[in-house]
Amino acid sequence: MKKDTIWVIAAGAVVGILAVVLTKLGNPANMGFCIACFERDIAGALGFFNWNIPAAVQYIRPEILGIVFGGFLTAVATREFKPRAGSMPVVRFMLGVFMMIGALAFLGCPLRMVIRLGGGDLNAVVALVGFIAGIGIGVVFLRQGFNLGRTQKTGFWDGFVLPGFMVVLLLLLLFQVKFTETGPLFFSAKGHPGVDGSAVGIYAGIAISLAAGLLVGWVAQRSRMCCAGAFRDLFIMRSGHLMIAVATVFVVILVLNIILGNFHMSFADQPVAHTGYIGNFLGMALVGICAVLLGGCPLRQLILAGNGNADSAITVFGMLAGAGFAHNLGLASLVNTNAWGFAAVILGLAVAIVVAFVNRK
């Protein structure tokens, strides 16, 4: 087997195994790794939204910090750390905002979509169709020359912005800092709301979560793992290379869930999920098109930012802001009766298409 093929298989296996392990150790069911959900939790911890009640989604997630650190250290070790930036930072920030809104409409990033598929959540099938549709729209514009600008060498310290931000977050987490008597920082007192309103898992321990993130950051950096890139390459180049990693994640999680008795095939009664098919389809369609225009899914954005890409760092900050918008404005967990959430996703799709259309070369 070629070395790069071994890397993508290893990346998929590592992510799949760790997703199940972290769930057993305390992370919410079917949410061993979810980039969007975990970034949303970080935004909540920082006070980007506050419900003034014991919130379930406010915690500095070590997995996110570890992924960035893992990608950064690997890039430095392999001499691939190259601070670079392109153009249109405001557009990238805005697309990051809408990518988060779309992910929270579904309640998960593309990686969690695959994890939910491995747990038998049929709502993720609807989301997968939407994700592929969104990527297909993005590919149409790529074929027409869409480009937000070529990345160029930038100031050396630009590449350290997001890794440095993650170091600050790690210190805040370890010392449980409270800036005011009533916060922030905010830390959840209970788990994510379950389908019956009860609390489900909160989080695994800091050390194991950080170690898992470091490991995922390492293999994701070496394999170039990207859920959106897998379908994009399949459509454009007929290459299934990156798809191997996505398929491996699914197979590993499926097998482990069956062995552990955690596989439950259904639409209803799935943990941290809803059955609004319109929201699941459109939300992930929005994630798909934004990921194509931005050059990678949420996981890939973290890795690229760790490699010194300032454009991806801007996208990550946009996603954090998007989490604040989604929860403060009641846009998260889009269902058929949520008019504002539906409108936000439609607006995001319209904005993404306009951005793609006007930036064809």
Q: In this model, does residue 155 exceed pLDDT 90?
A: no
Give per-residue pLDDT as tens, 58-86: 899 999 999 999 999 999 999 999 999 98
pLDDT at 52: 54
Q: Which comes out higher in pLDDT, residue 42 or 2?
A: 42
Give the model's pLDDT for residue 200: 44
Location of structure tokens 């570890």: 66
Mean confidence (pLDDT) of the chain: 91
| Distance of alpha carbon 37 from alpha carbon 47, whole angstroms | 15
Q: What is the pLDDT of residue 198?
A: 40
Where in the sequence is the domain holding 250, given as residue range(s)? 3-358
Average pLDDT over every residue of 126-132: 98
pLDDT at 51: 58
Count up the domains in the chain and report the number.
1
At 196, the pLDDT band (50, 70, 90 cuts) reads: very low
The neighbour count for residue 298, using CB atoms within 10 Å, is 31
